[in-house]
Chains A and B, each alone.
Chain A
Amino acid sequence: MRALHSDPRRITLKHLRSGLVIGTALTAMIALTSCASNEAPASGGSGSAGASGGAAITGTLNGVGSSAQSNAQTAWTKGFQETNTGATINYDPAGSGAGREAFISGGADFAGSDSALKSEELSGSFGACDGKGIDIPVYVSPIALVYNLDGVDTLNLDASTLAKIFSGKITKWNDSAITALNPDAKLPSSTITPVYRSDSSGTTTNFTDYLHTAAPSDWSNEPGDAFPYKTGEGAAKGSGIVAAVTAGAGSIGYVDNSSAGDLSVAGVQVGSDYVKPSAEVASAAAEAAEVDTTREDNDTVVTIDRKPTEATQYPITLVSYLITCQTYKDSAKGTEVAAYAKYITSTEGQQAAADSAKSAPLTGTIASAAQAAAATIK
């Protein structure tokens, strides 16, 4: 009787395990085939678009990098492969650091990164390049301050107040600093829970850069991809922030505007006005950004103005880069990357990302600078 007890259950467990393995394998296969189906059958209405002009590009490109760019890269890959049916672009959103690492070692043909190549990285050699790598701004997105506070539909904050909230110096919603900015709001006396990214993130770099630049006396820490304070709640990825703010009454967090969903979004003080994140104000901020002139030609790195005076710009805006070689050792690869970079920076490519990833398209001078840099890739 005991033997009867034990045996069949053991078998069940084993079956379950192997069932799980088969299930995982199947899912992987389905995922693979659906990826492949993006690539092949787009041949129908392709010839007309002709963004890059010359002969159709063929070959495979592998990119690694920023997860913020992930949705935009998917849109670009799709758009590019519709025009160039022989081309295959793979983008692995493993993270900016992983992307730069893979590109520098020659493991990836291009990288997506929320921060430009660092000076110590530029001083080394690049695996796939004949020379150095360059940065091209391709993805602009505003970072929204999302909060969960019953009965408060409009919330206005400035850099100094935000710095104090996120460093734990302001702990109550009815603190005089907040009520002074929001005379009409009925602010409760409940505790503020600031929610930050627990993983290293370009979103954190941009947010802390804003606080450090716009309110240096309240935020003395240098900007970085790790959040510097231990007060408040950490959450993984943008989706984790949204989940934590949604669940936690009295929480406030920072997240890419495209994932803010139904949460309330605070306005940020610019001059004497309060600006909410949108594609228009982020594009304007990117266009007004200062170009770093200390870098090599075509290495296009910009610094967003964190203290704009006109309410047409949103200061907490993230600019993410495409990192490629100036000159590839393999010239066929160079031609393909150049065509892809031209497509990404074109009006058409930027609009494709704006439609699917809700990013802010590059406009004006920054768009022409990016297009000019993309055209020089060999």
Chain B
Amino acid sequence: MTASTAAPARLRAPRRPGDTIFSGAALVGGLVILAALAAVAVFLIAQSIPAFSAEPRQITSTGEYANFWAYVVPLAFGTIWAALLALVFAVPFSIAIALFTSHYAPRRIARGLGSAVDLLAAVPSVVYGAWGIYVFAPFVRPFYVFLNDALGWIPLFSGNVSASGRTILTVAMVLAVMIIPIVTALSREIFLQTPRLNEEAALALGATRWEMIQMAVLPFGKAGVVSAIMLGLGRALGETLAVAMILSPSVIVGFFLLRTENPTTVAANIALQFPESYGVTLNVLIATGLILFVITFAVNAASRAIVGRRGGGKGV
């Protein structure tokens, strides 16, 4: 190695067993993930095939859906509708909490608040479901009655208010609580990475703290926040148990927030119908799962595209 002549004989590091083992393990790890994903996709597609030609009586025992698409379209709608409503509540709160912990709060409070929000992520969804039914739904119902009285002329708030408060709006708010920790934690890390120089330059030019955030922090963090929101959206799309427990579900398409009849989600519907299903009905449920898989895949691809185009998304 110390032989010094100029001839640029390539120096090769001796291959130690550790290197070989580690690179092999990393390769196997990556391949296993791909194989698992492929296995899931193959399973979903293979099991879904009979569903596309299912008879009405095989889709549900009531035979009210003429074909598979008449059944799955309202479910897909409900899935996206519930998730978008959840984002409406979650995103402003998450960004506000993230900015507060990264730029406003004294360090001690920021640390406490940060762990409290992280703690929300550790609560199992069955607990959220039980809390939603027994505590939250009865609690929000009086507000729903008020909304219906005051704003009933807006179609969103029209109709008979649910007697128990178990509506899509309640579900969306519970989902929001479940995705706030995800979006908050990621956004906070992004905001903390804003270059110190940019912030100080803004302040030196006479910007207030809010103006500094507008000029330096938010533009820097935009791509990262978008991908954080997409991760939250993914969680909301797939959430099963809390929705199944809280929602009063129907297979319908409708933009109403306070009524007893609400569109339900693919995942919740599978969870509710799976145990008692058999034969082609099972294939139909698995096929709805395939549709959810496609939706989630599309959401992830879209978020990748957004983050990629904007460039910035460091470390997310």
Question: B164 at the A/B interface (Cβ < 8 Å)?
Answer: yes
B275 touches A67 (CB 8 A): yes
User: Min CB distance, B249 to chain A, in Å?
Assistant: 5
Question: B237 at the A/B interface (Cβ < 8 Å)?
Answer: no
**Cβ of B247: which chain A residues have Cβ within 8 Å of it?**
198, 234
Bound Cα distance from A282 to B51, whole angstroms: 39
Residue-wise, chain A 95-136 has the 8 Å CB interface mask toward B (1 for contact) of 111101100000000000000000011000000000000000
Q: How many residues of A contact B (CB 8 A)?
A: 53
User: Which of A152-160, A247-255, A300-308 forms contacts with chain B?
Assistant: A247-255
B272 touches A236 (CB 8 A): yes
B245 touches A2 (CB 8 A): no
**Cβ of B185: which chain A residues have Cβ within 8 Å of it?**
13
B163 touches A233 (CB 8 A): yes
Bound Cα distance from A17 to B120, whole angstroms: 11
B277 touches A244 (CB 8 A): no
Question: B13 at the A/B interface (Cβ < 8 Å)?
Answer: no
A201 touches B276 (CB 8 A): yes
Q: A95-B276, A236-B244 are in contact. Are A226 and B166 (CB under 8 A)?
A: no
Other-chain contact of B276, A8, A20, A98, A120 (Cβ < 8 Å): A98
A235-260 residues with Cβ-Cβ distance < 8 A to B are: 235-236, 240, 243-244, 247-251
Q: Give A20's nearest chain B residue, CB to CB.
A: B122
Bound Cα distance from A240 to B188, whole angstroms: 38
Question: B250 at the A/B interface (Cβ < 8 Å)?
Answer: yes
Residue-wise, chain A 78-103 has the 8 Å CB interface mask toward B (1 for contact) of 00000000000000001111101100
Q: Give B107's nearest chain A residue, CB to CB.
A: A5
**Cβ of A230: which chain B residues have Cβ within 8 Å of it?**
250-252, 261
Bound Cα distance from A153 to B312, whole angstroms: 66
User: Which of B16-24, B57-65, B80-88 forms contacts with chain A?
Assistant: B57-65
A6 touches B64 (CB 8 A): no
B246-281 residues with Cβ-Cβ distance < 8 A to A are: 247-252, 260-261, 264, 272-279, 281
A sample of 19 cross-chain residue pairs with beta-carbon separation below 8 angstroms, ordered by A number, consists of A5-B107, A6-B192, A16-B121, A97-B276, A193-B164, A193-B260, A198-B264, A205-B61, A222-B63, A224-B60, A227-B62, A231-B261, A233-B166, A233-B248, A234-B250, A243-B164, A244-B248, A248-B164, A250-B163
